[in-house]
Structure formats: structure tokens, C-alpha cells
Structure 1
Amino acid sequence: MSQDPTTSEVRVSTLVGDRVCIKCHFNLVGQPVVREPVYGMIMVRCPECSTVASLQEYPLLGRWAGRLAAALAALWLLLLIGGIFATAGILFGMSQGNTEMGSARLAELISRRHLEWFNGAPEADKAVFKASFGGQAATVGAYVWIDAAWWSKQDPGSFIKELGGPWRAADWSVRGPLFWSIVVAILLGAVWANFLLTQPRWRLLVFALIPILLAATFAWLALSSPTTRFAWGGGVVYAIEEARRLLGPWLVGTMLGSAFVAFCVGLMIGRPLMRWLAVTLLPPRMIGSLAYLWIAAGKTPPRPPTRR
């Protein structure tokens, strides 16, 4: 009776990288690396079909290997930081777009009151307004120029009260763009969930605060910056900008609050969604290369069909 070759094999390590079996395509990650006794070669045995996968030994690398690894780690860290700022920038851009559209109703009211003042203003004031940059004509609309001197004498809160408060003053036809902003936030969360595969879910929820707080900081800077208020020549301000400043805290808060919830939803469903897409879209024998999606979650990778 011949001796079982596995009884004399010596375990030397564990396979930590993805390697699929050449026969059944099972992912061999996590399998023991053994040294066979006859030739001293190292190999991995497939637990599904017992096919042997040979490995190669390499000499120890020099200091440049450590330097290269450090450089790659630094590059990965920079990519993550850049991704965080890019995510915050996307959320900020969507909040600004929704805020501008939601402020259109209030801006039209401001321009309407400005036109009433302009029609009854002295000719000298009309001449000053007409001579200013962008103030060639007083009209009604969200994207029109209004006299800065007239606006400085107004009570901004009275315009909001006239429309019934900040929530009624907002133009809620922005619900459509807000819906798509929520969809984008869910997709961003799903992408980040798979970028941060090694992190538990509670840490993902903490991570969600970072891009949201960055986007809120960008929005606060945009609303408080004086550079977007006045025309180059001075003397006039943009109606939509003034309305956006008045309603910005409510609209930005609504947008970023919704985005935060949607982003967290994406973080929670991102990994199951990616596994479902892998099983649905890829042939069974190609799923082995994505086994880490299951291993990182403590799940067993799907087994490829066996040959008969």
C-alpha cells in the first residue's frame, strides 16, 4: 500500500492572494502552502478537486521593495483622500444646484418688489441703476440684477414672511433634481463600501460624516463669501444670489441631510449589491477572482460547478 503523499507534506505558509484552480476554478486563497518531500517544491492543493497548483519561491527582496511598497501605500492614501474630496465636491455641487433652483420663487418676489420701487423712483436713481453693470433694465425674474442701495434698505425676512415662511418660500419643484441627487448619493456610498472592504459597517457610518461635513463646509463658504454678490462695477446685486443666501441654510440642510441618509444606505447595501452583480453578470468560472468580496464579509465564496 502506497503512502498518502499528504501525510509527509510540510505546511510552510498560507496563500494570501487570489489564485484560481486550473481545473475547477475554485479560489485557493486561504489554503495551506505545503512543501512536498521528494523535490522540495512548494504547492497548494485544491480542496475541491485535489488538483495541485505549483508555486514559485523568490529570494528575499532588498530595501527597494520596502520603498516601493511605501510609495504604493502613500499613493493609495492620496487616492482615498482625493476620492473623499471628490465625493464632497459632488455633494456640494448638487446642494448648490438644488439650492439655486429652490430659491427661484423668492428671487422672483424680490425682483417684483424691486421693479415696483424702480417704477416710482426718482429719475436720478433710475439713471444710476441703468448706468451700473447689468442694470440696463429693471425686470421681473430670478436671474436679474437689482439695485444694491435699494436692497440694503430692505428687511430680507419680510420677503420670506410674505411667502409664508422659509419652507413655503422655497420652490419645491426642485423635488425632481433632489431625487436624482439622492440616487447619486446612494451610488457613491455603494462605491465607497467596496473601496473600504476591510472596514466594519459601523466604521463606514462614521466615515460617511467626513464627505458630508466637507460638503457642508464648502456650502457655508459659498453662502458667506461676498465675492459672488456684487457685479464687477458694483451698485447692483443678483436677485437669485440674495434669495439663495436667505434660503440656503434650509435648502442646503435638507439636501445634505437627505444625501447623508442616502450615502449611509449606499454604504450598507454596496457590498451585497456588488456580490449580487458579480453572481448575476459574470460566468461562474470567473467569480473566483472576486472571492475577496465574500471573504472580507466572512462569507463562503460561491463554488463553481464541478465537471462531470
Structure 2
Amino acid sequence: MKITTIIIFFFFVLPFTFAELRVGFYSSTCPSAETIVRDVVQKRFNQDKSIAAALLRMHFHDCFVKGCDASLLIDPTSTRTSEKIAGPNQTVREFELIDEAKILIEQACPSTVSCADILALATRDAVALAGGIRYSVPTGRRDGLLSDPSLVNLPSPSLSVPGALQFFTAKGLTLADMVTLLGAHTVGFAHCSVFQNRLSNVGGGVDPTMDPVLAATLVQICGLDRAVLSDPRVFLDQNSSFLFDNGFYNEVMMRRGILHIDQQLALDKMSRNMVESFAANGTSFQEKFAKAIVKMGTIGALVGDEGEIRRSCRAFNNPL
């Protein structure tokens, strides 16, 4: 599955775990940590505004598997696989940004700041630079000791709302969380292969739930042949593609959702009212998104003496 800001992930954490994550966790042990991350993200954002989508996707994909433990960042080796080789993760990008922040932080405060926290902070900073609300990130996560591609199980963008919701509720997230977090698609893009079936379905026609003008545009970009070697990408929010706003919800209200699950949010009675509300009130979306992504960021968080603080985000400290 090639997709950039995509199906969003899940929350299950015991109360004591959440309590051990707190805003300003490194205020005494590494007071420059958040500034270092912010400066690295700012520099990269100046070069490529699509990093907001990339970091959101990376954060979501990491948190979904075993929790927000930076297990996605581990490189495979000749003797061990990692989550990076799983199909949905092969197009995840901006690992180098996390590396750069980690190197600088290690120089300032060795073995203190986790890669999991760097990823959460970098995502927050990228969202703010793209026009989103700047929310506070509780930190204190530790890095995981396992990265297993067989555990990668991301919900497909072709799911229905009830189908996608099963993934969310299984981890403790609500329908409202799901609808809100899918709003991250406002800065995302998808490759044609991900939604090609909506342009040339089994019956031979375009998905009738898609705006005909958008469908014609997508056919021009993607073609109708699923076997075509090139696989162009298109923005999921065709109107304000790099701006983190509520434009995504307005688009799906006009039947301009690119992905099946995105369009279904505006059509299914379970979610339609929330989509209408966010389309009408961008401030409400921003505020609720901040709460939802902070909640997501506590999934399976390792704290205290659990896990480790990696010296390099790409490798365990003591690989077997």
C-alpha cells in the first residue's frame, strides 16, 4: 500500500503509563531537546513542505504496531528483519530527519532522549509549520526492543467506516478519534494504484460516489490501466494541499474524496455529522486533532525502565 498520511491508529494505555508521560519531561536533563528538533524540522520544511504528511504517516505507522516505541525506525540487517520491510512501510520517508535530530541531541545530551519522543515532537512541529495548531507533546517514552514486520497490520484505505472503526476500537480509539485523525489526509497524497479501482471498477465505470469532474481529472493523471508501470501520486486535498486545515472535510462533503474510506466518512451516517461539523468549523477540527494525536501518541508507550534510549534510531543498542 503506497500512501502518505494514512489510516490512523489506535490508543490503549494503562493509566499509570499516561501519568509517566508529561510535558517538559526533558526540561532538566536535556533542556535543548525540543529546540533542536524544532530547528531540524524547520530547516527541512523550508526545503520540502510535504514533510508534514511524511512525519504524520511515520508517527501513525509506528504507533499502530506495538505502540509509539520507534520500532519502525530500526533498519533491517543481514540477520534480522524489521518493520521497515513491511509493504505499507516501504514508502515511509524522512528517516534522515529523525537521524539528524538524534545526532544533534546525542551531542548535547548523550543517551537521554528517546527516538520515540523525537518522532512525536518532530510530527508536532511539522503540523504547526503547515498551519496546524501547536499542541503540547507529553514526553518520557522509551524506545522498543523489537521490530517485527509480521506485526504490521494497517487498515486498508478501501475499508468502509464500520470496517475501519473495528481497527480503531480494538485499540481503544473512538469513532470521533478516527474521523478526526483521518483529517491528517488534508496534507497527504496517494499513489494512483491505491485508489485505481475507483476509476475502473469491476462494472467498468467510475465509482458513482466520486465527483465526475474529479474523476475525469484523476483518469487523466492515472489512466485506467492498473498494469501501467508508472504510478503517479495525487493530493488527497486538491484545494489546499500543503496546508493543515479543515479543507479535507470540505472536499469529501463535495464528493471529492480520493480514497474510498475518506469519501465514506461523508456518506456514512455514523460519521457524516462530524464531517459536516469539521467542514464548517476549522478551529474545532484543529483543537480536536491536537487532543486526538496526543492520545494516539500514548499507545503502548514504554516508560521508566522499560525498553531503552537508543544511541542511534536505526539500531538497537545491543543487537543480538
TM-score (norm 2): 0.24
The structure number with the bigger radius of gyration is 1
Point out which structure has higher relative CO (alpha carbons under 8 A, 6+ apart). 2
TM-score (norm 1): 0.25
